[in-house]
Amino acid sequence: MKPLRHRITHVNRIFGKGFGWPLFYLLGVFLVLGAFLVMSFRVHVTLVGYNIGHLKDQETKLLEQRSELKMTLAQMTTQAALKKNLAKDQEPAEEAPLP
């Protein structure tokens, strides 16, 4: 392994004297911030995926409920059901005795 002094000299040749170490620190900070940003996006995407799954389940339940309500409405509006309700409405209502 080459001595540390040789490695520092190599870095100074690439980035110039006095410019290499602050640049590496700055690069390290940006890499760490980038890693946190990527991790944050991944967590956010996962949470959005869970919400989409929950909303799809809710949509399925609501579509089933809508279908049941349409069926009930269709049964209530048949001619026989309407005649039955009309006959019920035309019967004289029993009045409650006064106390």
| pTM more than 0.75 | no
What's residue 1's pLDDT? Answer: 55
pLDDT in tens, 18-58: 556 777 888 899 999 999 999 999 999 999 999 999 999 99
The answer to whether residue 97 sits within a structural domain is no
The number of distinct structural domains making up the chain is 1
The answer to whether residue 9 sits within a structural domain is yes
Domain that holds residue 50: 4-87
Helices (H), 1-99: 4-15, 20-76, 79-90
The answer to whether residue 93 sits within a structural domain is no
- What is the signed CA dihedral for 76, 81, 84, 90, rounded to 10 degrees? 50
Q: Is 79 helix (H, G, I), strand (E, B) or coil?
A: helix
Residue 20: name the closest of 31, 7, 32 by CA.
7
Are the CB atoms for 40 and 48 separated by under 8 Å? no
